[in-house]
Structure 1
Amino acid sequence: MIFRKVEHLLPLAVLLHLSIIPTETKVVTSVEECNEFFLQQTPPRIPGILEGGDILDQNRYRMICQTFNDIRTFVTLYDTHNKIPVFSAAKISKIKTSIRVGVAKNITLKNQAGNDDYKNTQGFDRGHLFPSSYGSTESEQSSTFTLTNIVPQTDNFNQGSWNKMEICIKCVLNEYCINNNGNIEGFVVIGAKPSSRNILNKKINIPSVLWSAFCCYSHSKKKWLASAHWGKNTADGPKYLQTQNLKALQRTLGV
């Protein structure tokens, strides 16, 4: 992960069960076609997957410009082998308080996970990477309900420490990530580290670790701010995820 001039900052996902929302995926062959969602238009480095802005295996990993009503809202790098996203990234401009809940109608990417793959999965939620609660408009919030933005997450982790972390970061973005023009502006990247052999319904990789990072320039602090969080995707983890800096996240992910 590359964020420049950053400092360590101390301190939803939701279940999908209601209406069907017409969310689209637009698969692109070049990261440059969706780079507005990355800080300085520079995507993260994922060794062996995404390096120097190039997707090393485009047959397996697909870059998706998540789109709702013909408006691009965030970007996802999707692993068609594990059937989970590698990461989702977005530029935050402002954050609404309301959350629209639904199930994405999104079966358009070849070899992606489908709704049937998530049936009979007691103990697991369909966990968002880019959460609906971070969306600045109803379209942005609705667009997160896509299966290409979803990973199997243990319900205790998803509804516990991971949810608390998302709420905390949302508060930080609202309070501190105010740019020189007086507007909320920040960049977030949320990812999943696949497990070696843990498979849901013999189809979908259950990530061993989920991670989240954000960066923004704070006019009031007159400096760049950033932090990272991660946790094991298990039912018996800590109550709260410790706030870390980006270098610690890089070491953990082997970046």
Structure 2
Amino acid sequence: MSDCTGFLLEETPPRVPGILEGEIILDQNRYKPICQTFNESRSFMTLYDTTNRNPVFSASKYKGSQGGRPKKKQKNWKIEPQRYENQAGECDYRNNGQQLSRGHLLPSSYAHTQSDKKSTFTLTNAVPQGEQFNQGSWNRMEQCIKCVMDDYCINNNGQVEGFVVIGAQPGNNKLNNRVNIPSMLWSAFCCYSRTEQRWLASAHWGQNIPDGDGYLPTKTLEELHNELTTTGSIFEAFPGTQCPLHTTVTQFYPEYNICSFHYHICHCQYHIFSVYYICPCQYHICPSQYHFSSDDNVISYYQS
């Protein structure tokens, strides 16, 4: 792990029960760290399970995102040459009949440059993920947390800087009798916010099943830790750091449902009095002079 620096908060990996404890990989024949590299540039890191042919987690430093998703011809899925015999292949996903897609752990939207985005399209950063889950609640969660990091993860140097760790829990079934189908996916982020003058963190997880148009509840790091801790072995996303265990970033969500600072849809769930906030701005012209109030279960907007 020490050979791939710059992607973990304080260069400290998560504690994963039975796999990675005290910064030591317990079975080094099975679990392999990969410093994901594209065009001779390192972009993020992955701990890969060569038995399940799945990443355990991928981690990266979020520095903002330049440009959109790579064009179709530029985002061909790649393989890791050194792990070819022990990783999933295109043939495993093609016409699988189970409505499973190649689900990114680290999404391309979290990558900084176009080259970094292309680097996320590697099968060592993908798991068999239900198509509806991938395109539905999981995608909305990714967009929401990206908005929060863009606006609030600004360090003391005025730069966007956040840390993300995203993983998958093995399930009991296999794709093409080779690739483990995860039972659930989890995600956590942490950063220092200059504007808030404190550390921020939140976590999400969801079962790898069709979920329609739902949202993943925003949880604390402690709740994620409790969910993934096993008997006699503790899970920690950001061990030994200042990341808060008992708070989330849901207090920022109303801003995104009324008017996104960047004029795009952030998909952060928030409701009060059983009514969801809806942005009143037209044609994506959404200046900060709009405010909201609530009375008798009715949301109203006014200009200052």
TM above 0.5, yes or no, is yes
State which structure, 1 or 2, has the greater radius of gyration over its C-alpha atoms: 2
CA distance in 1, matches of 2:40, 2:18: 32
CA distance in 1, matches of 2:167, 2:110: 15
Residue identity matched to 1:190:
I
Other structure's SS at 1:183 match:
coil
CA distance in 2, matches of 1:221, 1:238: 32
Render the CA deviation track for 1:136-169: whole Å, top value 9, x for unaligned: 1011101000000000000110000000000001
> Are 1:146 and 2:119 matched, yes or no?
no
> Are 1:172 and 2:157 matched, yes or no?
no
Greater RCO (Cα-Cα under 8 Å, separation 6 or more): 1
CA distance in 2, matches of 1:66, 1:253: 25
**Considering only aligned residues, what root-mean-square deviation do their CA atoms show, in Å?**
1.2
CA distance in 1, matches of 2:88, 2:158: 40
User: What is the aligned partner in structure 1 of residue 254 from structure 2?
Assistant: none
> Are 1:129 and 2:105 matched, yes or no?
yes
Question: C-alpha displacement at 1:36, in angstroms?
Answer: 1.9
> Are 1:228 and 2:212 matched, yes or no?
no
Other structure's SS at 2:2 match:
helix
User: What is the aligned partner in structure 2 of residue 90 from structure 1?
Assistant: 60
Question: C-alpha displacement at 1:204, in angstroms?
Answer: 0.7
**Structure 1: runs of 5 or more not aligned:** 1-30
Aligned 8 A contact 2:44 2:60 in 1? yes
User: What is the aligned partner in structure 2 of residue 74 from structure 1?
Assistant: 44
Other structure's SS at 2:3 match:
helix
Aligned 8 A contact 2:189 2:201 in 1? yes
Question: C-alpha displacement at 1:97, in angstroms?
Answer: 3.7
1:43 to 9, 13, 16: 13
Aligned 8 A contact 1:153 1:206 in 2? yes
**Structure 2: runs of 5 or more not aligned:** 230-234, 236-304
> Are 1:192 and 2:162 matched, yes or no?
no
> Are 1:103 and 2:76 matched, yes or no?
yes
Residue identity matched to 1:104:
W
Question: C-alpha displacement at 1:96, in angstroms?
Answer: 2.0
* Identity level (%): 58
Question: C-alpha displacement at 1:105, in angstroms?
Answer: 2.6
Question: C-alpha displacement at 1:238, in angstroms?
Answer: 6.8
Say how many residue pairs are matched: 224
1:205 to 158, 180, 183: 180
User: What is the aligned partner in structure 2 of residue 64 from structure 1?
Assistant: 34
CA distance in 2, matches of 1:76, 1:237: 29
Question: C-alpha displacement at 1:103, in angstroms?
Answer: 1.9
CA distance in 2, matches of 1:68, 1:52: 29
**Please, what TM-score do these two structures have when normalized by structure 2?**
0.72
Moved more, 205-214 or 112-121: 112-121
Aligned 8 A contact 2:137 2:211 in 1? no
Question: C-alpha displacement at 1:35, in angstroms?
Answer: 3.4
> Are 1:162 and 2:135 matched, yes or no?
no
Change (3 A) 1:237 1:191: farther
CA distance in 1, matches of 2:34, 2:80: 13
CA distance in 1, matches of 2:92, 2:211: 25
Render the CA deviation track for 1:154-198: whole Å, top value 9, x for unaligned: 011000000000000110110000001110000000000001x21
CA distance in 1, matches of 2:176, 2:147: 36
Aligned 8 A contact 2:8 2:61 in 1? yes
CA distance in 2, matches of 1:150, 1:113: 9
